[in-house]
Structure 1
């Protein structure tokens, strides 16, 4: 299976996206990390720990991150992980991309399709 890790500066955003993705795709393995001690930020050590735990139970893990230091943390934890080749940082909008990715994971899409469809989510017209 392919797991999903959501990284955000906000714990509320990370947990809310996990909840939303689970409602759309209840059987996926998804975790969210955000905030540091009830403030905005990212705990890279916790994110690395969670990523390595996910790699124990999944053949691959996709990471969705919001902005700035969270993206840098995603790149760092990928390289420090137990299996960097099996970690994919998805260049997609956090909300739309992770929801699209969760659905693709739930229907058994391969890693390339998950990433491709997630990237397309930035082109969704809203008016």
Structure 2
């Protein structure tokens, strides 16, 4: 499983970002470590602490490092030279908060380091789409098709579901949906049938959020594979769940 390290000038900020991510996603045992601040109250970064955090977060599959700005990046770069044993490490260009959430969702589902890094880098796509920023989609290159969704074959189950929960497919239910779909053996594509946005792969939090599904809108789900029917059922349960919990 990919480990994550959060590097920030402020320990309080790093702890809050991690708390937010785990508040929105179920804890699947992803190793997350913090290297932030020179003390609980003093701002700053320490390359040695970053190196120690990378070592602690590594379970053999690699580590993604997310940083806030300035010397946090410099400390992370220096930390790579301080590692005592070879570890596959990527320094993320993604935003700290959104990137952490997206990376955690991907790592929780067993994605490899390249995929986890890509999710973090793409994490601003939903905000850009919501604010109408069409100059740059924010989506890094991906092995997906040009639509961002893997092709679903002719045997796919397709269903259109009205989203009846109070706030639509916002961060928490979207994160729960992605987490649930990563547990099934199915290729799932989602499309906002009301606005036409999509399709997007159902196992990518960054792309699911770009659909901007609001309450009362209709979500089209297409699934293929051994667990296709289960995948559709999970999407339906989430879309109709007024408590914003995970799909039943």
Partner of residue 97, structure 2? 95
- 2:48 matched to 1:42? no
Q: TM-score, normalised by structure 2?
A: 0.47
How many residue pairs align between the two structures? Answer: 125
1:55-90 deviation digits (Å, cap 9, x = unpaired): 3x3421100001000001111112321224x01111
Preserved contact between residue 2 and residue 61 of structure 2 (Cα < 8 Å)? yes
Which region of structure 1 is more displaced relative to structure 2, 20-29 or 109-118? Answer: 20-29
The offset of 1:51, in angstroms, is 1.6
Q: Structure 2 unaligned runs (5+)? A: 132-248
Q: Structure 1 unaligned runs (5+)? A: none
1:90-124 deviation digits (Å, cap 9, x = unpaired): 11001111110000000111212111121111232
The offset of 1:9, in angstroms, is 0.5
Partner of residue 121, structure 1? 123
Secondary structure of residue in 2 paired with 1:124: helix
1:2-44 deviation digits (Å, cap 9, x = unpaired): 1000000110111111222223141211011211121111122
Which region of structure 1 is more displaced relative to structure 2, 65-74 or 45-54? Answer: 45-54
Secondary structure of residue in 2 paired with 1:92: coil
Query: Higher relative contact order by CA 8 Å / sep ≥ 6: 1 or 2?
Result: 1
- 2:60 matched to 1:52? no
**Higher helix fraction (1 or 2):** 1
What value does the CA root-mean-square deviation take over the aligned residues? Answer: 1.5
Counterpart Cα distance in 2 of 1:110 and 1:45? 26
- 2:63 matched to 1:64? no
The offset of 1:45, in angstroms, is 1.6
Preserved contact between residue 15 and residue 33 of structure 1 (Cα < 8 Å)? no
The offset of 1:52, in angstroms, is 1.8
The offset of 1:54, in angstroms, is 2.4
